[in-house]
Structure 1
Amino acid sequence: MPSKILNYIPSRAKSSCNVEIDIQGHYESRIYTTGSTVQGIVKITSQRKTAIQSIQVDFRGTASTRQAFQYGTPFTTHTFMHIPIPISEDLLSAGHVLQAGESHSIPFIFEIPSNLSSNACNHQNTAARERHLLPPPSLGSWMKSDLTDGSTYVDYAIRARLVLGNEGCAEEKFVDQNISIKVIPMFPEQPPINISSFNSQYYLSQTKTIRRNLVGAKEGILRVSTTQPRPMTLNLDHLQASDSQLAIDIEYIPLSTRRTPPEIRIKSAVIETVTSFSLGRVGYLPDHDDTLSSTISGVAPWVASHPLLLQGVRQVNWEKFTDISPLAEPERRASEPIQVVPDSARTQTPPSTTRISIDKDYSQSEALIYKATMSQSFMLPTEKLLFLPTFHSCMVSRTYRIRITLATRAHGTTISLVVPFQITSEGRNNAYDPILPVYYDSDSVSRESPPPYSR
């Protein structure tokens, strides 16, 4: 499996030189989060006399990507976190020579940081840099599918390296040992995305004309809109997400004597998982901005779609109101232009060549509008899938959006909305009393959460 490339680097030296890493309380499925400590011992042994130059122990975070669907091509790797520990000369053998049968144990303790070093991202876009300085979650190595395509990995590992002298083991220069750990940092809730009129990724409102049949007369105007639902929170103990709710506002303006609003049902509701990755560093947030195409920007979005688990499908209960204002102009994403007649024109006899389908008695005093709100609760299909928190880094981003389609009648008009969706992680409270110093990056930034995204 490709993940093994990241999780383990086999020793290139002969068996006479050996490096072992033992992490206290570690097991393969254990999840570390912000504030968790990684504590253990590196043990170095040699079966014969060996000259060494240095011993290195560090905690690394790397993001690796390659061209989509180009399996077998090399990965491009960005080290976004590097926390070394100083090795005292007292731990090294006299003359930097390991005698046969001699062993050394080097203790270490690291803490999962809440923020990365300020050197981890040098983008000028303030909003992007704020997000990029939050550690990303592990990606591509989970037992459940984390909805990647094998072209993207985020790995955290404890690495121990023994750099050999000129008379080291055979002709080898160093001995490496890595142990990867799974990390899901804390990701607090962020403000809703400010969707500009130029962002074509989302459709928070739609307007369509309802007809009796494909080429029949117009019966009314249907407007559907929604807002971004509350985020879901990922539980780190069971990797389950909380539920959420989508509120859909519906308006129907009849244009004929048949003023009964149509029957509306949810035809489909899916969550789209978008993993955006690049071979280089990207200085914008893919879900916030309507960017250039992937062939120009170099960002390859991998989209996976899965049905939402709807909880108690709601019925639409219409309320009738008197409309005393002129019909609003159709919204930007209306499926077709709608001819709107101002109030002053409604009191006049309409020309015989316009609005023939509208009843002549349809005056301002009789104009009606039907309104309803559909509140639909939903959950994510987490039995076999892992929905990681929403995050952004220099090379990889994970975002979500909900696509919900409403239909009128059995085979009538359909209307779709696409809404950004956020998944957060609360982390855990980690109480510990370390007996060793905890090592951080010497240039780490403030541990406070970044300010909200603003354009």
Structure 2
Amino acid sequence: MMDSKLGFLKPSPPIDLQIDIDHHYSSKTYNCGSAVTGNLLFTPRKDTPFESIRVSLLGTATVTRDDIEFAKTTTHHFLRTDMPVPASAYPESKIFQAGHAYSIPFHFIIPYHLTVNACTHKVDSHDVRNAHSRLPPSMDDCERQHTGPRTTVIEYGIYTAIDVQCGGRNKEPKLIGKKHVINVLPYFPEDPPLNIPQMSLEYAVEKTKRIRKNIFSSPDGRITAVALQPKAISIGPDGYGSSESAILIDLAFEPRSPDIQPVSVSSISASLHMQTWSRQAPSIAFPNLGLLRDAYTDYITLYSRKEIQASWMSSPKETRADGESSSTISYSSSIRVPFKLPASKKVFLPTFHTCLVSRTYKIQLCLAIGNTKLRFMVPLQVSMENGKPYLNGYGEDCSLGSATASMDMSRRESYLVQELWPLVSRGSENDVLPGYLD
């Protein structure tokens, strides 16, 4: 049964709207600075009085959770850009004539940054606020095999709405609307390495173990391994293709006695973990650095039991302050673990954080040393660099968003129609997000 509130879903409306985007195709990807131009086309079936016409670029994030009796959905409208429709685009009589073909052009620019009103809730740090002010990538395209739960959607689209008078001027106007979803992949520059907390539940980059020949023998020594965070993987502007990166593992072996040789490093396994975090309340911190364990995780094996060799270098052990040494010699080595994303099989989204949804990556490593194994969880950032800054027609840098996207938020929301784009009115407190439906 169709929702009676959505007038544009009722059968046989007086106007059948079509959104025609120039040079568009289903798999096309729009980046920051990309122009989205086209026309709103319609031919009324009968003479139709109308009140107003709206054409907007809208970005929304939606999280749905199944409750005991019903599904609960929270929606955040993080981007809304309204295009003023000039009076010359429609008849002065405010009546669309039957059989007459109308064409209303539109022109939008995908902004580089969201406005400050996109995130107004409390956060732990400026870094979180800055991350929430970036445009997130689209996350609702099964054809492109995005990884992520089907209950989490990030969608961009061109939305149009016409308030028409049905049954006379004294009748309340009804809304006729249409949307055309587009795929947006914004730029994400490489950020500094994560400052991993000591009690992290997600990451483990340092391991220390005692080495024994068997479980009954005394230890031959102690090995310490530290995995360094790799350089970010950079993906292409269409989401396909990626650069190569590598994880460097520093090893240190302290034998119990000088005659004990360092253990052999035989193999390493690696798998990529893709985590999608989503909540129905605003995130005040980065979810992967907290105590949350509710991420939807997908896995891809990078390689299994890859044979490697480590070249050990000996060095004298540092002497303690009392002039004695616990061991006369120690060994050190480094292992480089190169990897690349299988971008030919899946579309990988950049690492991002929004008020409701986050996407993070980590690599699980299993290093076989002697008869023991060391396991690591190393954070990985996926970025997408901008080749050159976008300049508008006046030669101005649009890196903080286009002039259209920077329109006053309160003025833009005055055009809002609850049936098509419902938003919750904002209170005076600072602990709730703008544009939420609970």
Kept in 1, the 8 Å contact 2:161–2:176? The answer is: yes
Kept in 2, the 8 Å contact 1:19–1:42? The answer is: yes
Deviation at residue 432 of structure 1 after TM alignment: 8.8
Deviation at residue 383 of structure 1 after TM alignment: 2.7
Instruction: Kindly report which structure 2 residues correspond to 1:287-298, keeping only aligned pairs within 5 A, or say none.
Output: 287=288, 289-291=289-291, 293=292
Identify the match of residue 388 of structure 1 among 349, 363, 367.
Answer: 349
Identify the match of residue 305 of structure 1 among 280, 284, 299.
Answer: 299
Alignment RMSD (CA, Å)? 3.1
Shift of the 171–428 alpha-carbon distance from structure 1 to 2, 3 Å rule, reads farther
Residue aligned with 1:223, SS: strand
Give the letter aligned to residue 323 of structure 1: K
* Structure 1 residues not aligned, in runs of 5+: 295-299, 327-341, 347-362, 445-455
Shift of the 68–223 alpha-carbon distance from structure 1 to 2, 3 Å rule, reads farther
2:414 aligns to what?
Answer: none
Deviation at residue 124 of structure 1 after TM alignment: 3.3
Kept in 2, the 8 Å contact 1:224–1:251? The answer is: yes
- Please tell me whether residue 131 in structure 1 is matched to residue 92 in structure 2: no
- Please tell me whether residue 442 in structure 1 is matched to residue 407 in structure 2: yes
- Please tell me whether residue 181 in structure 1 is matched to residue 142 in structure 2: no
| 1:402-424 deviation line (CA, Å, top 9, x unaligned) | 11111123xx2111111111010
Instruction: Kindly report which structure 2 residues correspond to 1:12-27, keeping only aligned pairs within 5 A, or say none.
Output: 12-27=10-25
Identity of aligned residues (%): 28
2:104 aligns to what?
Answer: 106
Shift of the 50–430 alpha-carbon distance from structure 1 to 2, 3 Å rule, reads farther
- Please tell me whether residue 420 in structure 1 is matched to residue 379 in structure 2: yes
1:450 aligns to what?
Answer: none
| 1:175-222 deviation line (CA, Å, top 9, x unaligned) | 211111111101011111112223332111110011111232111101
Shift of the 15–173 alpha-carbon distance from structure 1 to 2, 3 Å rule, reads closer
1:325 aligns to what?
Answer: 319
Give the letter aligned to residue 441 of structure 1: S
Deviation at residue 320 of structure 1 after TM alignment: 1.0
1:351 aligns to what?
Answer: none
Deviation at residue 19 of structure 1 after TM alignment: 0.8
Give the letter aligned to residue 181 of structure 2: S
Kept in 1, the 8 Å contact 2:269–2:305? The answer is: no
2:195 aligns to what?
Answer: 194
C-alpha distance in 1, partners of 2:389/2:315?
55
1:451 aligns to what?
Answer: none
Give the letter aligned to residue 187 of structure 2: M
Give the letter aligned to residue 414 of structure 1: K
What is the number of equivalent residue pairs in this alignment? Answer: 395
Give the letter aligned to residue 18 of structure 2: E
Give the letter aligned to residue 228 of structure 1: Q
C-alpha distance in 2, partners of 1:9/1:179?
17
Deviation at residue 134 of structure 1 after TM alignment: 0.4
Kept in 1, the 8 Å contact 2:7–2:175? The answer is: no
Give the letter aligned to residue 421 of structure 1: L
C-alpha distance in 2, partners of 1:262/1:64?
52
Residue aligned with 1:79, SS: strand
Kept in 2, the 8 Å contact 1:117–1:443? The answer is: no
Identify the match of residue 53 of structure 2 among 44, 55, 64.
Answer: 55
Rg comparison, structure with higher value: 1
Shift of the 160–261 alpha-carbon distance from structure 1 to 2, 3 Å rule, reads same
Kept in 1, the 8 Å contact 2:270–2:302? The answer is: yes
Give the letter aligned to residue 121 of structure 1: C
Instruction: Kindly report which structure 2 residues correspond to 1:4-403, keeping only aligned pairs within 5 A, or say none.
Output: 11-67=9-65, 73-125=71-123, 126-167=126-167, 173-237=174-238, 239-256=240-257, 259-287=260-288, 289-291=289-291, 293=292, 300-309=294-303, 314-326=308-320, 367-403=328-364
| 1:60-106 deviation line (CA, Å, top 9, x unaligned) | 00111112799983532111000001122333333322221123211
Give the letter aligned to residue 146 of structure 1: H
Deviation at residue 311 of structure 1 after TM alignment: 12
| 1:106-126 deviation line (CA, Å, top 9, x unaligned) | 111111101111111013332
C-alpha distance in 1, partners of 2:90/2:319?
85
Deviation at residue 155 of structure 1 after TM alignment: 0.5
Deviates more, 1:271-280 or 1:86-95: 86-95
Kept in 1, the 8 Å contact 2:247–2:336? The answer is: yes
Kept in 1, the 8 Å contact 2:269–2:304? The answer is: no
C-alpha distance in 2, partners of 1:404/1:131?
28
C-alpha distance in 1, partners of 2:77/2:59?
6
C-alpha distance in 2, partners of 1:314/1:144?
35
TM-score, with structure 2 as normaliser:
0.82
C-alpha distance in 2, partners of 1:238/1:260?
48
C-alpha distance in 1, partners of 2:329/2:45?
90
Kept in 2, the 8 Å contact 1:310–1:377? The answer is: no
1:357 aligns to what?
Answer: none
1:354 aligns to what?
Answer: none
* Structure 2 residues not aligned, in runs of 5+: 395-401, 410-438
TM-score, with structure 1 as normaliser:
0.79
Give the letter aligned to residue 137 of structure 2: P
C-alpha distance in 1, partners of 2:404/2:243?
34
Deviation at residue 343 of structure 1 after TM alignment: 5.9
Give the letter aligned to residue 118 of structure 1: V
Give the letter aligned to residue 73 of structure 2: F
Deviates more, 1:386-395 or 1:255-264: 255-264
